[in-house]
Every structure is written in C-alpha cells, then in structure tokens.
Amino acid sequence: MSNDIEWIKIAFQGERGAYSEAAAVAFFGEEIIPLPCESFDEVFTQVEAGESDYGVVPIENSLAGSIHRNYDLLLRHELFIVGEVNLRVAHHLIALPGVKLEDVRHVYSHPQALAQCERSLAALGDVEKVPTYDTAGSVRMLKDRGIYDGAAIASRRAAEIYGMSILASDFEDNSQNYTRFLVLHPQEVVPQGIAKTSIVFSVENEPGVLFKCLSVFALRDIDLTKIESRPLRGRPWEYFFYLDFAGSMQEERCRNAINHLHEITTFFRNLGSYPKAT
Amino acid sequence: MSNDIEWIKIAFQGERGAYSEAAAVAFFGEEIIPLPCESFDEVFTQVEAGESDYGVVPIENSLAGSIHRNYDLLLRHELFIVGEVNLRVAHHLIALPGVKLEDVRHVYSHPQALAQCERSLAALGDVEKVPTYDTAGSVRMLKDRGIYDGAAIASRRAAEIYGMSILASDFEDNSQNYTRFLVLHPQEVVPQGIAKTSIVFSVENEPGVLFKCLSVFALRDIDLTKIESRPLRGRPWEYFFYLDFAGSMQEERCRNAINHLHEITTFFRNLGSYPKAT
C-alpha cells in the first residue's frame, strides 16, 4: 500500500476541453490524465484494451435526444456502465485575446452547438456559421491558425486550456440544455446510495410482448427512467430495447424482475448498476 | 367532372432521383410532379401551405434506425400520415458514360450511403470517400462539373434521370437495407384493408406510467409495431412517446384504447390511420 497518488486515465471523444472532459472532471475530480480520442469507437476500444482506465461518453441531450451511436457501441463492446453525470451545457463565444465582438465575421463549432445558439448568433448580425467536427477543436483551430476575425462556440474549460478570451457567456438560446454522460469500465461496480441499472434486450415479434416486458418492473413497483429502441440489424422492423430502471442488481426485487424478464426475452444483457447522478 | 388527368405534386427532401422520390413513385405511380426540397422542414411547410399535395419523408431505416428529425417535425406541423412505403435501398455506383471502374479515384455520396457500402468501397482499392449532402445530388454534381475520375453512390432512378452509367449494382454491404417512408397530407384518410395508426403523447413522470399506457393496447389485444421516445424540450429527462399500432381509429376497440389512454396522458395527438405497407 502506498500513498502515491495514481492519476487515472480517462478516454473521451474530442479535443482537450471537450464537454466530455468537463463531465470526466465532474465525476473524477481534476486528478485525471485526459485521453482525447477521434471517435466514440476509439473511446470504447481504448478502455477495452486497458489503454485507458475509464471512458466517458455522452448518451443523451435534453434538447437533441439520445446519441444513438453510443447505444449501439454499448452492445458491440464488453464494458459496464459504472457511473453517470448530468452536465449543464453552457456554451461560450470564445476568441483569441484582443479580438472584440465586432471583429467576429465567422463563428466555428459543431453543427449542434451552432444550432443551439441560433438566436444569439442572429443577434451578432452578419456572421458566417462554419460547421466543424468539434467544439473544443474549433477553439484550438482559432489559436493554431491565428484567426483574428473568428470565434468559436465551446466550453469555458476549452477557453482556459487554450488561453483564449470569452467574448460572451451563456450563449445558448435555451438554458435547459443538459447532457447525460456515461462512465464506462471493464468491471462492474456495486453502487452505494440511490442506484440505476441499464439493460438491453430483444424479444420475439409477437403481440403484447413489450407490455409483458414492462410488466416485470411495474408488478414490482420498479420505476423505469428511460426506454430507447434501436434496429436489430439484419431483421428489418425488429428492435433492441434499452431500459434504465431505478435500483441495482444487488436488490432482490430487481433480480427477481430480471429473472422474470428472462422468461420473455430472446436476448438479454446487463449493462451495469451505478449511482444515479444528482 | 372531367377526364383530364390531374398530376399530383409531391414534396420530398433531396434532388431529383432521391430515394424519397422512388418511394413517392412506389406509392402514387409515375404520374406525379416531383417537388425537390432542400430540407425536411421545407417538405412539411410546402404541404401545409398547399404548395404541394403530399409530402414523402423517411422515418426509419432498418440498419441506421429512426430519422428523429422527422419525428420532431410531425409534432411541430399539423399534417396527417395517410400512407407508408417500405423501400428496399439498393445502392448503385454511378458515373458519367465512358468512365470505367478503374478510372474512379473519388466516390461521392451522403455519409450514411458511404458507410453502408464500406466493404464494396474497400474492394475498389485506393479511392477517396467524399461525403456530400445528398445521394442523387452527388450524381448531378458529377454531371454538372464533368467529373471523369469520380463516381457517386445513389439510386438507379438517379442514374436514369441524369443519363449516367451504372458501374456496379447492389453496391451495399448488407442487403437487409430498407427504409420506411411516410406520406403526409393536410387531411386524414379512412384506410381500407389492414391499417396502422400513429400517435404521440406525453405523461406525468411517475412510476409505472408507461406500463399503464401500453396496457390500454395489451388489454384489447392491439399489437404495437413501434415505440420511439423524443425529448420534451424545456423539461430535461421527460419524453414524448410515439407509438404505432395495428388497427385504425375507425375500429371501436382502437377508439376505446385511445379513450382509455386519455385518462393517463397529459398530452395526446392522433397522427393518422393509414394502410399498412406490404
């Protein structure tokens, strides 16, 4: 046993300063080694290969909806959900130090961030919206290329990391903008306190079968917090169902519900029990 | 009463030759006036404004999943679903007449079409994949710009419309590639034969409430064919639920189920009953 601090490695999609990095810091604290990845696939692969201790990926935004790619990747990889983070997405208009609001002719960001700041951008007058692959990556690009007639929409953290100025804060049109992130790990955890569990299953396509699946929870007063369906590839108009429910696999009534569910499903996987985000 | 043939106007997203145009022809026959639109929003707006008789939009692909934008637009606009079409998506590699397979250095198409032909593209060797906004639009671009070292991935119909050659047919990796399209109209129809109905609703966020909603169908042996959830903007982690069920609002048991559902929901809208696609 040593007192050395072991900084944990966290993989996430995007450049340093991405919202996923802010989610990782919210969950683990500042003592992390960030591992920026090009794609969500790479995040899963890095954690699976042991190159990173944990992965952090967005799963759902309160305005735009689910990030379906990550639902599909949960099934394709053998990782467990060990935590979740709700992050308020606060967009900032960021530029090189010295740039004034009236100098800005082009605004760079991910298409979704541009869309979420539509009214604020319109108020700037005649500026060109330039879609890019990444919010924080746009800030980095302004810096790397020395662009003085442009600004980027990204997190406060991105401005700090790249030593940039914030021209406008809380730049988003709708403040009810939250993203829920999942923390991924090769091993399951036993959650303390209020827990959630995520599962995925498929069923034979017969009348009333989804009702039967939900009944195993309702009959035991277990609250469902999310249902999502994704196509079953190769079987048109059949689906995988992803469910989140309140409770953990440590609780008998949850285990009973899952045993009951097994009687109905043709495929089932436990994606993990984890502490519910506050 | 006259015997003049009145050709109906059909709005769809994309250039002439888009898969949505093929879906429109599959539903209405060749006697249509196609109205290509830049966006899905424009399709809904054109039909609502009476500029087009009907709109045809994709709602679900058997490999990629739901087209969530169109679920959101169904709620934002006051149109009814009056039909559906299941179209097998057969991708073709299309080039200017005279171009040979070995001349092709760049392949242009919508990112989803490029992804669905990944293995076929890899077999071509060293070709660059160029993402574009539209499948049929890529064919048109090859023609307009006289590009002789490139090809596009699009429908057979696109090749015919622009007088281009097909270098390879059935170019997609997975042949179980179907897209379901909806036909939209300002007035409801009374469907003949086997019918489906689409509805959307929201509920108070309380334990077991989705189970209760599904029970109104299960208790009456009404089969659900699809469930989809979308975020309720401004109320994080609450949802609109979109359901498709077998049957029409002309049937008493369906009307009874909907009356029962009204006791549970806080918002409800009937999106229309329509003949089930074959």
**pLDDT at position B132, please?**
85
**pLDDT at position A77, please?**
97
Q: How far B102 CA lies from chain A's nearest CA (Å)? A: 31
Q: Average pLDDT in the B96-105 region?
A: 96
Amino acid at B178: Y
Q: Average pLDDT in the B24-53 region?
A: 96
From chain B, the residues in CB contact with A63 under 8 A are 231, 233
Confidence of residue B112 (pLDDT cuts 50, 70, 90): confident
Best of B75, B213, B214 to mutate (most A CBs within 10 Å, chain A): B214
Percent of chain B with pLDDT over 70: 98
CB contact under 8 A, B237 and A208: no
Confidence of residue A6 (pLDDT cuts 50, 70, 90): confident
**pLDDT at position B170, please?**
93
Residue A231 pLDDT exceeds 60: yes
Q: Average pLDDT in the A50-69 region?
A: 95
Residue B1 pLDDT exceeds 60: no
**pLDDT at position B156, please?**
95
Q: Top-level CATH class of B92-168?
A: alpha beta
Closest to A19 (Cα-Cα) out of A179, A151, A131? A179
| Domain boundaries, given as residue ranges, for chain B | 8-88+177-185, 92-168, 195-275
DSSP of chain B, one letter per residue?
Answer: ------PEEEEEESSTT-HHHHHHHHHH-S-EEEEEESSHHHHHHHHHTTSSSEEEEEEEETTTEE-HHHHHHHHHS--EEEEEEEEE---EEEE-TT--GGG--EEEE-HHHHHHTHHHHHHT-S-EEEE-S-HHHHHHHHHHHT-SSEEEEE-HHHHHHTT-EEEESS--S-S--EEEEEEEESS-----SSEEEEEEEEE-S-TTHHHHHHHHHHTTTPPEEEEEEEE-TTSTT-EEEEEEEES-TTSHHHHHHHHHHHTTEEEEEEEEEEEPP-
CB contact under 8 A, A207 and B223: yes
Best of A61, A112, A206, A229 to mutate (most B CBs within 10 Å, chain B): A229
Percent of chain B with pLDDT over 90: 90
Confidence of residue A1 (pLDDT cuts 50, 70, 90): very low
**pLDDT at position A3, please?**
52
CB contact under 8 A, B229 and A230: no
Percent of chain A with pLDDT over 90: 89
* Active-site residue, selected from the candidate residues B135, B179, B197, B265: B179
- HSE value, Cβ hemisphere, 13 Å, CA-based, for A179: 23
- Count CB-CB contacts under 10 A for residue A238: 16
Candidate from A92-96, A206-210, A220-224, B177-181 with smallest mean pLDDT? A206-210
pLDDT digit string (tens) for B208-225?
999 999 999 999 999 999
CB contact under 8 A, A208 and B229: no
* CATH of segment(s) A92-162: 3.40.190.10
Confidence of residue A2 (pLDDT cuts 50, 70, 90): very low
Rounded CA-CA distance B244/B196 in Å is 7
**pLDDT at position B206, please?**
87
Residue A70 pLDDT exceeds 50: yes
Residue B249 pLDDT exceeds 50: yes
pLDDT digit string (tens) for B222-241?
999 999 999 998 899 999 99
Catalytic residue numbers of A? 179, 181
Rounded CA-CA distance A205/A111 in Å is 37
* Active-site residue, selected from the candidate residues B181, B217, B240, B241: B181
Residue A206 pLDDT exceeds 70: yes
More confident residue, B2 or A216: A216
**pLDDT at position B216, please?**
97
Q: Average pLDDT in the B22-38 region?
A: 96
User: What's the whole-model pTM score?
Assistant: 0.91
Q: Is B135 a catalytic residue?
A: no
Closest to B216 (Cα-Cα) out of B232, B231, B199? B199
Going from the C-alpha of A183 to that of each of A159, A160, A272, the distances in angstroms are 24, 24, 11
Residue B2 pLDDT exceeds 80: no
Distance of CA B116 to the CA centre of its chain: 17
From chain B, the residues in CB contact with A64 under 8 A are 231
**pLDDT at position A4, please?**
62
Candidate from A22-26, A269-273, B4-8, B136-140 with smallest mean pLDDT? B4-8
In this prediction the ipTM stands at 0.89
Q: Phi, psi (5° rounding) for residue A158?
A: -65, -40
Confidence of residue A234 (pLDDT cuts 50, 70, 90): confident
Confidence of residue A112 (pLDDT cuts 50, 70, 90): confident
Percent of chain A with pLDDT over 70: 98
CB contact under 8 A, A62 and B231: yes
CB contact under 8 A, B68 and A63: no
Closest to B149 (Cα-Cα) out of B136, B167, B135? B167
Q: If interface means Cβ-Cβ distance under 8 Å, which residues of chain A face chain B?
A: 60-65, 68, 86, 174, 176, 178, 180, 207-208, 210-212, 214-215, 217-218, 221-231, 233-237
Pairing of strands B106-109, B150-154: parallel
What superfamily in CATH does domain A195-275 come from? ACT domain (3.30.70.260)
The mean pLDDT of chain B is: 94
Q: Top-level CATH class of B8-88+177-185?
A: alpha beta
Nearest residue of B to residue A211 by CA position? B214
**pLDDT at position B4, please?**
63
From chain B, the residues in CB contact with A89 under 8 A are none
Nearest residue of B to residue A218 by CA position? B208
**pLDDT at position A213, please?**
97
Of A65, A225, A235, the CB nearest to B68: A65
CB contact under 8 A, A234 and B176: yes
**pLDDT at position A243, please?**
97
Confidence of residue B250 (pLDDT cuts 50, 70, 90): very high
pLDDT digit string (tens) for A256-269?
999 999 999 999 99
Domain pair A8-89+177-185 / A92-162, same fold: yes
Nearest residue of B to residue A64 by CA position? B231
Are B240 and B232 contacting, i.e. CB atoms less than 8 angstroms apart? Answer: yes
A270 membership: H or E segment, kind and range: strand A265-275
More confident residue, B206 or A181: A181
Topology of the domain covering A8-89+177-185: D-Maltodextrin-Binding Protein; domain 2 (3.40.190)
Best of A210, A215, A219, A254 to mutate (most B CBs within 10 Å, chain B): A210
DSSP of A208-245, one letter per residue?
Answer: THHHHHHHHHHTTTPPEEEEEEEE-TTSTT-EEEEEEE
